[in-house]
Amino acid sequence: MAFDVDVRLRRGEKVIACAFRSDSGIVALFGPSGAGKTSVLDMLAGLVRPETGHVAIAGRTLFDASVGIDLAPAVRHCGYVFQRPRLFPHMRVRANLRYGRPRGDPEGGPHGLSQHALIDLLGIGGLLDRWPWSLSGGEAQRVAIGRALLSNPHYLLLDEPISSLDHTRRQDILDMIARLHAFTAIPVVYVSHDQRELDYLGGTVITLS
């Protein structure tokens, strides 16, 4: 079982609840803005603690309120690509990419994909010596994806990773995510409010309202 998730959180008046079990490697969270999609990802990453429920991904229990399990984000091995890239502004692209490396294998890349192959796949080989402020939105987002993957994550969380990009870039990144998943078989949770993206990527669709 790739995903066994049941989380619940109260945010003021609103209750954010999301439950799904899936063997499919890609799960898409779909719903209008404000439905709590990002909050669900934050709960999967351990950045926000659900009030009740449990989270098990790729056979590992990360959170279980009933037995008091709550792993810290740092030990969940989660590759989180946020809605905005959140690159570290005081580090060059190379150092950003390396930030999660100590956890990963120093030589190889994630899931049998070599580090160089990943950088090629993302098309960021020419950006390694650049500063984050000099990158375009699309470049920054691809670096953020690379940084998350190079930390050798057990699962990948993508929060509308292409919403801020223009149309040609969107298709590039979508292709890349599909290729990545085909290469690595890493479980992915993908957040979007665009039906076309979900049709393209396939997988299980969970609708939040």
Binding footprint of other proteins on the chain (CB under 8 A): 45-47, 72-80, 82, 84-90, 99-100, 102-103, 132-133, 135-137, 140, 147-148, 151
Min dist CB 165 to other proteins, Å, is 12
Q: Which is nearer to other proteins, 19 or 75 (CB)?
A: 75
10 Å CB burial of residue 15 (0-12, 13-18, 19+) is exposed
Of 138 and 205, which has the nearer Cβ to other proteins? 138
- Name residues whose C-beta falls within 8 Å of residue 175's C-beta, 6 or more positions apart in sequence: none
Q: Closer to other proteins by CB, 77 or 198: give it.
A: 77
Q: How many CB atoms lie within 10 A of CB 83?
A: 16
User: What's the min distance (Å) between Cβ of 59 and other proteins?
Assistant: 19
Cβ of residue 86: shortest distance to other proteins, in angstroms?
A: 4
Q: Give the SS3 label for residue 27.
A: strand
Give min distance, CB of 191 to other proteins, in A: 15
φ and ψ at residue 172, rounded to 5 degrees = -55, -50
| Distance of closest approach, residue 5 Cβ to other proteins, in angstroms | 17
Q: How many CB atoms lie within 10 A of CB 205?
A: 18
The C-alpha atoms of residue 126 and residue 130 are separated, in whole angstroms, by 9
3-state helix, strand, coil in the chain (%, to 5): 35, 25, 35
**Closest CB to other proteins among residues 134, 195:** 134
Supply the minimum distance, in Å, between the C-beta of residue 116 and other proteins.
20
Nearer to other proteins, 118 or 198 (CB): 118
Distance between CA atoms of residues 148 and 156, nearest Å: 8
What b-and-e string marks burial along 134-147, b requiring 16 or more CB atoms within 10 Å of the CB? ebeebbbbbbbbbb
Is the CB of 76 or the CB of 198 nearer to other proteins? 76
